[in-house]
Structure 1
């Protein structure tokens, strides 16, 4: 439960946002365009791997600017929180997205769940750069961008949610069918596509919008690299193939910008949300909690729990279901797990500020502790088995993972800027992804007062 001052603070921010981003805000330069392409899971270190065929990305980096060594993501280093950071310029402690959905705490004894079927208004606590662009009279579009469902600031959208087509712009759905990119307008047929097939549809949908509508701000999110890295691991033959396909999709988007005749007015920002590491082993904290009598399971699922762990790749969000006992139980959890194989740390709420999370008394979705896995281990949510450590196959976890604390070097994300307004041949030192939203604002001449980041001025002409 949020305290009254916290609720009043959030209400004040919301009121301020309505004022600052009202439709009467000064119009930005409608001749300028920014296209942001997120290649989910394409780690920064892959750019320097000679086995990875990335001709388009490397050419754009030579012609423009690259964050040398990579961009630091937010915690947790997973997809929805970081895509939200990219368009708000703040970490989850402020924008509120901590997982790929809303973390829903139940009553005492009921485990916390993740609800992905939510609108932007349920997920994101502050206005985004898209909201600012729309308020300034600019045209906007997104393809598969997380946490945008139900947005009133997008002229065209195809959001990253379950039942994506149901929540897509009707005119865009119809056009994609007419173009032969979709069999029909139903999610049932779209879900039958492979991850490669979906990336193809999303890429061609983006190209269509760029050629026909020329949005001032376009957000594009492709997923195949992330999917393959999870299944096969990064820096594998399958991973290299996925990297090459992502680069080919990017080349199609660059060609669409040329075909639209807006190349000289367009800035292209190519990035990823997080890096990747191989995780051939996993830790199963819920097995240990089951053995300690702190949760019960039935048919492989948690039935009741005093304490349980929600996995987020390289970390686990620890929830204590009885608020009156949460502090003591979190401390006991730390004593139970610190020093065990595969466990790098357990962070209690008094240390959350250091990793960019809010204390649970300030934000209901925040966990009561964070379990941090060692590199090479992922966190499993499984309740089956008898040992803490298991192979990834036994634990039913991915061979490749992200979600680790963002200071792990392998979590650094790709970031390349090229085109209008970008200096050529620039190598930027490591930056945080909170700097992307203010950079977009600078390029489009938008007023955006919410960001904690700064524009990447060293890359700007």
Structure 2
């Protein structure tokens, strides 16, 4: 009997009873805010001191926009994690190749060809709320987020902030909101103008105390603040109708770049030669540099035109159209991401501290998805930012 007891004791001694594992903490909510047109070069201690102080305790960097750096494709890139040639919103406007009709404002859910983050989140069981974001106008492939407010003119940012706060209070795990930023002031008065500085102060006074309070009310809240593009001051104008006079084309100008749709493909060499003579960079669609991830979409013009920084491209054909364009061209964007003025601000709160390298816009959504365990129906082009996946310190 003694031998049996001894053997049993030895066997029990060899059995390793696993230690009790602490429960896996559910990730805190995430708030993504876009301030339209707020460039990385505009966010400084002298322009937004309260937000700068918050960023000093978080992470600060810049987002590189897609080309052309415009509002609609910028926001859809941020939301899908995909390149413009894949998500299909290749600029604020484009010509739809299937029936050759002009899409004047590519801000509808119908324009988006890849899954937005709010759809992937909803399919993954993450309660999601979206306010005024480009493309959040209805169901995408039959899926709508838990709460959604499509864009409406005339609603102040404070209303959007209250909407986000209510969604978080009601249990949203992901909240995405588009706010006005400095885009209008930059277009009308130019970056660096008194009007832009006044708007930056207003944003600083509104955002900093609000975010401080939200973070106290929602432990574990991560906040990502960014924008679709920056803004550059304009000094010159080039009229594309004058440059291409006599050639039957459809023009869509974005500011510092443009799409030329040819009615006669044989006109391409002549049109390109004239544009280059005017001092512009020109690529046939298939020859757009691969780093811009643009030329693979048939929605892009037959010719893609890029102006030097500080020059904006006009499509006006009458004096009245020209006057309308000039009214909003003290500042412009739509250049390539290498132009420093196009870089958008980036602040991350609640995920460690320290500087961030420049982040391509298509890496934003994959990062948020990784934070919240969101599963994509189709893997996006971008990748989660490794620095933002490290343990907080």
Moved more, 449-458 or 73-82: 449-458
Inter-partner Cα distance in structure 2 for 1:252 and 1:380: 41
Inter-partner Cα distance in structure 1 for 2:306 and 2:323: 17
Inter-partner Cα distance in structure 2 for 1:71 and 1:413: 5
Counterpart in 2 of 1:254?
211
CA shift, 1:97, in A, is 0.6
CA gap 1:278/1:381 in 2 versus in 1, 3 angstroms: same
Counterpart in 2 of 1:104?
96
1:407 aligns with 2:365: no
SS in 2 for 1:414: strand
CA shift, 1:207, in A, is 2.4
Per-residue CA deviations over 1:1-54 (Å, capped at 9, x if unaligned) read: xxxxxxxxxxxxxxxxxxxxxxxxxxx986521100111111011223x54134
Per-residue CA deviations over 1:301-352 (Å, capped at 9, x if unaligned) read: xxxxx2132111110111113xxx32x3222211011132xx4411222322
Counterpart in 1 of 2:57?
63
Inter-partner Cα distance in structure 2 for 1:398 and 1:221: 22
CA shift, 1:126, in A, is 1.4
CA contact (8 A) 1:313 1:379 kept: yes
Inter-partner Cα distance in structure 1 for 2:315 and 2:293: 21
SS in 1 for 2:168: helix
Q: 1:441 aligns with which of 369, 377, 380?
A: 369
Count of residue pairs brought into register by the alignment: 362
1:456 aligns with 2:385: yes
CA shift, 1:119, in A, is 3.9
Per-residue CA deviations over 1:381-435 (Å, capped at 9, x if unaligned) read: 21136xxxxx98884541111111221111011111111xx122x1122221111
CA gap 1:29/1:372 in 2 versus in 1, 3 angstroms: farther
Inter-partner Cα distance in structure 2 for 1:54 and 1:285: 42
**Which structure 2 residue ranges, 5 or more long, are not aligned?**
1-23
State the Cα RMSD in Å: 2.6
CA gap 1:405/1:210 in 2 versus in 1, 3 angstroms: same
Counterpart in 2 of 1:265?
220
Inter-partner Cα distance in structure 1 for 2:87 and 2:37: 21
Inter-partner Cα distance in structure 1 for 2:43 and 2:97: 40
CA gap 1:383/1:106 in 2 versus in 1, 3 angstroms: farther
Per-residue CA deviations over 1:153-198 (Å, capped at 9, x if unaligned) read: 31111123xxx4xxxxxxxxxxxxxxxxxxxxxxxxxx4x4xxx52
Counterpart in 2 of 1:366?
300
CA contact (8 A) 1:60 1:417 kept: no
Counterpart in 2 of 1:347?
283
Counterpart in 2 of 1:155?
146
1:75 aligns with 2:64: no
CA contact (8 A) 1:74 1:81 kept: yes
CA gap 1:432/1:392 in 2 versus in 1, 3 angstroms: farther
- Provide TM-score, normalisation by structure 2: 0.84
Which structure's CA Rg is the greater one?
A: 2
Q: 1:307 aligns with which of 249, 270, 273?
A: 249
